[in-house]
Structure 1
């Protein structure tokens, strides 16, 4: 085994799996130091929307770096953050009137949970319980892990996690059971329900219906339970619309956004909140303020990237690009349904996912994922299956030829039997 100085995320270094050195990115492509080109079929962990090194975003980053690189955001502001706030207000529901900046999807969720608990504390109501969906994933900080599914992701940290109430995943046959469980749970007056709208990402790209999302929101509203939408992965067009909530006609009390917020160029997140949430912390008493921050909150360079991304959404035909990619993904999903050894093929927006049969060890720790990943890398495609769940979620700039190469690489990997054992 080779020990490495850099400790990579979600990587078991003891397996000695190769770690390519990426030295350049452009559009839908990455290049290694050996000159090999990879097609980015997963948007580099779901963040890259318009393509790598997008010139409008890169130019905005360069300009901000020479103008205003960092400023304390507590009690200060700057033009780049103001531009992001105005851009978000123009695109997102007016009811989500207040914007809190943070640094990642996990921290945007932490912010949302603290906002929800702070709301009830301001009303002197002891409502602390959080409701979550089975198989959910909301990040890797302590609060975010607490509202995610218990399992291999967080088993070692169980003593630190707070208790939540878990509702069954609302699949086709279990949707009513989910709604009934939510109705019953809401009678006990929990603080909030947090959901990944329409798609549970790291839980296996599990998809449920917009009508179920809408009904969950209705039940929460009827009982006065706050509704938190974690759109970190599902936002920015991934499900075919700007947000997944849009397809259900849902405006949550709190919405978390990150990943595609900067087009995938720099880490930045926002938590959007209703006026009621903001007003619960609005006071002449300093002790009642919202106590959360980080050193790099609303970093100007990251905000410049986000402002450029928002301009691209306003001024370029991004919905058309999303629609074109979604149509090609739907066509491929129809073909995959005929493959032997493949099950539960699903498609939503720019995402297609399915399971490859693994009788030995299905789930996240299946050896199929590394095997398929390695075979696809050899064919020039960057893929990272979730165990035996294979998914494709590329940047919107990918062309038909590259997408065809992605599809062929996956089919060849499965057909060749590399999926039998790593």
Structure 2
């Protein structure tokens, strides 16, 4: 399998000239994966945060099977169907109560793309010139062009500078940077040149699980509302229980104007994404003039099979056992944090919900995909643990169904890495 892979497949975020052969996975169950040689791995990052209910979840699989025997797909232009309607009825009540409209797309990046286009076109439709977007430094919002523009990790985007929408970045309101963040935002708002402010609420995932307080985000959102700048919560990573609540925005007193959802939406079964909106935003496109419509779509928009998977995932999210798993993982993370926070190789640790992050103390800075990161990654893989360090930061974000023993093994291996590197 690896030979054919090497001959024909191009993998994401990979320099193929220097990469190790890709591991061929043949089976998954719960928090575990097995390769073609029978080696077992604990999936400690839920396969890029998409499998909170575990691999081969029977509830999701059964929902998909039943939907496939009824209606696998129908175009969403000019048509609708019961799974999409049922998903809206199930999701809207657990979103912030200002969210009233849902637009379907295919993945987190396209959910962000839709949100940014809506913010910009809303003002275009009104005849106002607001052509810029505000984002955080070191943000990551995806790999399509508008999402790239809003992202602040330069090596992902530097080849495309000059080809993207205009985005201005402000500091993240981490401890000590709260005033600088608010002041920078305020200065931009006063120009009346900006249509939207996009953010990863409370946790910047790809930046290394950088965390900041909800009270600070509330202040930023409140300021945006005073100037008519739409706020976009990118909950692609944080959504559906990762932070301990259904959504990171549930920690806020202010409500965003838009939300971007994907990853855990379908429990990792089928690619699907949503962008949700206030009625005000929808009304900005509701007009006798067809040119003011949102001309954006995807072939698989609102795919019925994906909607069925999402409905099953929402049922699982509300299950008492799943909620108990989220609480248990959080408590285990806190206990592990106490065990390692004073280790001489630990610079910082942080925990929110099922997210744990640990920063190795290093004499020199480590690049995102540098030698130290790669050494750690190979060490974990050799030990049967799937973790993907970000530079010198190791994070754990496991499926909610991971057993106490499996999670303890992950901690044990991370502890071994601290003692070795």
Q: Taking structure 1 as the reference length, what is the TM-score of the superposition?
A: 0.96
Quote the residue 2:309 is aligned against: 305
2:253 corresponds to = 249
Choose the corresponding residue for 1:263, options 267, 275, 278: 267
1:7 aligns with one of 5, 10, 20: 10
Give secondary structure in 2 for the equivalent of 1:191.
strand
Question: Could you tell me whether the CA contact under 8 Å between 1:29 and 1:38 is conserved in 2?
Answer: yes
Shift of 1:317: 4.2
Is structure 2 residue 384 aligned with structure 1 residue 400?
no
CA contact (8 A) 2:139 2:153 kept: no
Contiguous gaps of at least 5 residues in structure 2: none
Query: Which runs of 5 or more structure 1 residues have no equivalent in the other structure?
Result: 418-422
Q: Counterpart in 2 of 1:420?
A: none
The equivalent position to 1:128 in structure 2, one of 110, 128, 131, is: 131
Deviation >4 Å, runs of 4+ = none
Q: Could you tell me which residue of structure 2 aligns to residue 19 of structure 1?
A: 22
Q: Verify the 8 A CA contact 2:140 2:153 in the aligned structure 1.
A: no
1:272 match: 276
Q: Report whether the alignment pairs 1:28 with 2:31.
A: yes
Number of aligned residues: 416
Partner of 1:82: 85
Q: 1:141 aligns to what?
A: 144
- Give the one of 292, 297, 321 matched to 2:296: 292
CA contact (8 A) 1:25 1:52 kept: yes
- Distance in 1 (alpha carbons) for counterparts of 2:294 and 2:164: 22
CA contact (8 A) 1:358 1:368 kept: no
- Determine if the alignment matches structure 1 residue 59 to structure 2 residue 85: no
Residue 353, structure 1, aligned to residue 374, structure 2: no
Partner of 2:370: 366
Other structure's SS at 2:103 match: strand
Distance 1:18 1:370 in 2: 14
Deviation at 1:261, TM superposition (A): 0.5
Matched, 1:94 2:97: yes
CA RMSD between the two structures: 1.4
- In structure 2, the residue matched to 1:70 is 73
Deviations 1:202-227 (A, max 9, x none): 11211011111111111111222111
Q: Secondary structure at the match of 2:69?
A: helix
Deviations 1:282-309 (CA, angstroms, capped at 9, x unpaired): 1222221111101111111111100111
Deviation at 1:361, TM superposition (A): 4.2
Q: C-alpha offsets along residues 130-154 of structure 1, whole Å, 9 cap, x if unaligned?
A: 0010110000011100001051111
- How far 1:315 sits from its partner (Å)? 4.3
Structure 1 position 258, deviation (Å) = 0.5
Partner of 2:51: 48
1:318 aligns with 2:327: no
CA distance 1:365–1:312, change in 2 (3 Å): closer
SS in 2 for 1:272: strand
Mapped contact 1:102–1:293 kept (Cα < 8 A): yes
Mapped to 2, the partners of 1:64 and 1:32 lie a distance apart of 30
Question: Residue 335 of structure 2 corresponds to which residue in structure 1?
Answer: 331
Q: Residues 367 and 388 of structure 1 are in contact (CA less than 8 Å); yes or no, is this contact kept in structure 2?
A: no
> How many Å separate the matches in 1 of 2:331 and 2:135?
32
Name the SS for the 2:53 alignment partner.
coil
Q: 1:384 to 1:341 in 2, by over 3 A?
A: same
Report the Cα offset of residue 4 of structure 1.
Answer: 3.4
1:153 match: secondary structure: helix
Cα offsets for 1:16-65 (capped at 9, x unmatched): 41311011111111111111110010010011111111111010111112
Kept after mapping to 1: 8 A contact 2:240/2:265? yes
The SS at the match of 2:8 is coil
Q: Which residue of 2 aligns with 1:166?
A: 169
Three-state SS of the structure 1 residue aligned to 2:166 is coil
Quick check: 1:201 aligned with 2:174? no
Q: Is the 8 A contact 2:30 2:53 kept in 1?
A: yes
Deviation digits for residues 133-177 of structure 1 (CA, Å, limit 9, x no counterpart): 011000001110000105111111223222211101211001111
